[in-house]
Amino acid sequence: MFSQLDKDIPAGVVLFLVALPLCLGIALASGAPLISGLISGVIGGLLIGVVSKSGTSVSGPAASVSAVVFLAIQDLGGFDIFLTALVIAGLFQLLFGILRAGLIADYIPTSIIKGLLAAIGIILILSQLKYAVGMELDHSRFSSFSEDYLENTWKMVTLFFQSFTPGSIILTLLSLFTLLFWDKTPLKNFKLFPPALVVVIMGVLLNFLFKYFIPGLYLDSHHLVNIPKVESLSSLITTPDFGVIGHMEIWTTAITIAVIASLSTLLNIEATDNIDPHKRKTPPNRELIAQGIGNTLSGLIGGIAITSVVVRSSVNIESGGQTKLVTILHGILLLLSVLFISSVINLIPLASLSAILLVVGYKLASVSLFRKMYAKGWSQFIPFVITIIAILLTDVLIGVLIGSALSVFFLLRNNYYNPFFIENTKLIQGEAIKLELSNEVSFLNRASIKNTLWNVPDHSKVIIDATFSHYIDLDVVEILRDFENTFAKEHDIDVNIIGLKESYNIGEEIDFVENSIQKEIQKSSPQEILDYLKEGNKNYAKGNLVSRRLRNKELTDFLSSSPLAVVVNCIDLREPLNMLLNTGIGELIPIRAAGNAVSRHIIQSIEIACRNQGARLILLMGNSGNSFVSEAIEAHTTKNPSHLTPLIKDALASETFKNYQENNSPENITDAITRFNLEFSKEKIIRQNTFIREQVITGNIGLASAFYNRKTASVEFSELFSAETIMKK
């Protein structure tokens, strides 16, 4: 902890200067004595800083729980009663940490968390407006107008505007201007003078000027911070009223504070760890224990709720803080400020603090946040908005519960409508409707699956793929069987069910019907297979891939039928052919030939693939940027011997490349030679293998070439090698 003093001490000073006005401001927003904010800041720095194992997180009073504290003080009827609830909340947090509940934040939807923060931002803005304008409302002054509102409306409006304090309005506007434009000026480089501190100092100085030069704008003690004079430590401490501990409202408030403070802390340490340059991981359960201890003590001596605060944590990191000494040091400085400069702190105008909180509130509930949530769709936007409205109309815990319930509704709704992926798949024998079931299919999906299947057009071909499902409810299995055995037969629908596991205990093993597809594939022509591969690559280039996630034991299910094509490609092509051509498992036989230059052995392998395994198409496939061809060209250009020279010797010996190298880039030459090798290899196969030549002439086997462009992800296919071309040669 003391290994980086040269960085940690300056960072601790900067952090103190930022935290001081924030502690006062959060206490003001919470409706609590201002000294309570400083007490919480001291506890967050000293106690939590020691117990926590985070190197960057800084704790203290936070805007995220200020609304909870404000409502709790109002509802419970006193600050000392609130302190009792805070003590209990701290004990709950301690219990959360012991029970290892640190993962609780992972189960709260992001839309709810953002709705919570936005609602807190709105509450902050609304609660600070009266301080920003220096409003002094004496409700008794309005009671005399209650008999005749129409007649006295103008008097009421006049009285309302007379309740504003011009000095507060001026300070607020100047403070807002400073805070909003600070980062757009070179002043942002002065780290020792954060904008919040500048606003506070400016407020104090301007109020002095008002006193001596513009008395009408001067703010008296009613509009200034009021911390009691420190005569002894006991004068600062407010103790909780444990006499009300049996009231249900105390426990409800305690649970609310514990949950919101814990969620806020867990989210903040996650955000802080993300911006930590050393990427350290804060133990979440240890952090909950530290926060529980801190809030318990805060409740015992008159503080307000504490959480990890991402604003202070980010200041710590930006200031170069390396260890938790920074947060401990800032706690020490806060304590010294309470003990020795309370009279100076009492000179700070409330308008300056309210301006800081107005900016914080707007950042939590900005217009851009609403736009981003709206852009994410109704399933995110509606729970977000409802959470905000519910919190504003009720309280934080009820609002979060209402928003969470709505999120669960959308989750169930999406689960209802998305138990499968459906597409029209173009197979060799024609188009088929494919239903690919999700990983888990529950009884909640029963209705949507049935509605989909029972609306399949008559005379259709349907593939139901359960290969990727780890669990399928028996109700859903029964629907699949009813569709296959009854509805499909009555409506002349060709059904093929793939991948349903035996462990579902459906009573009998389902005999998967694959014969109709496989037989038609075997009867397909070479041209149909080539068109199939062309269509597959178009889908790949567009990102419309058919899923091929298979368990090992199920791979053999796809190898019982003949393959469609044998593909000869260079070993430089590392991309999987099944993806490039969007084909099924076992439909292609890959053979590798360096530089796409086929040898007698490779030609013999091609013959075996066609003669013995039934492949109907031979596809020679090259690719752009072939590294072996490029290296061979470089060796030839520099006249260095290379084992790769045989890959380009036929191309260089041809008439095509005699003057080609002079006017083209190395990339173009590489691709041109690759294309040459493809055409040369096609002719070589026809010349050297009688079986393939005869089969190509009769149309039983097709021969074509293809060139894969890595930049566009598309494949350029040639036409089939025609019998007329062979006869001419």
Binding region for Zn(2+):
570, 572
Instruction: Please state the three-class secondary structure of 27-80 as a single string.
Output: HHHHCCCHHHHHHHHHHHHHHHHHHCCCCCCCEEECHHHHHHHHHHHHHHCCHH
Contacts of 580 (CB under 8 A, 6+ apart): 537, 540, 708, 713, 715
How far apart are the C-alpha atoms of 382 and 385, rounded to whole Å? 5
Output the six-digit token pair for 462. Answer: 């349907």
Tokens of 320: 């170069």
As a whole number of angstroms, the distance between CA 380 and CA 385 comes to: 9
CB 522 within 8 A of CB 562: yes
C-alpha 522/C-alpha 501 separation (Å) is 27
Which stretches does DSSP call E strand in 303-419? 306-308
- Reduced to 3 states, what is the DSSP secondary structure of residue 621? strand
Sign of CA dihedral 687, 692, 695, 700: negative
Element (H, E) at 176: helix 166-181
Length of the chain counted residue by residue: 729
Angle between helices 110-132 and 367-375 (to 10 degrees): 160
Taking alpha carbons only, the member of 249, 296, 316, 391 closest to residue 90 is 296
SS3 354: helix
Residue with tokens 């350029």: 716
Number of Cβ atoms within 10 Å of the Cβ of 395 = 18
Q: Residue positions in the annotated binding site?
A: 570, 572
Helix (H, G, I), strand (E, B) or coil at 426: strand
Q: Which amino acid is at 628?
A: F
Q: What are the strands of the beta sheet with 420-427, ordered from one edge?
A: 420-427, 430-437, 461-465, 494-498
With vertex at residue 399, the alpha carbon angle to CA 397 and CA 404, rounded to the nearest 5 degrees, is 95
Q: Which among 481, 485, 515, 516 has a CA at the least distance from the CA of 500?
A: 481
Cα–Cα distance list, 145 to 161, 162, 348 (Å): 16, 16, 36
**Rg from Cα positions in the chain:** 37
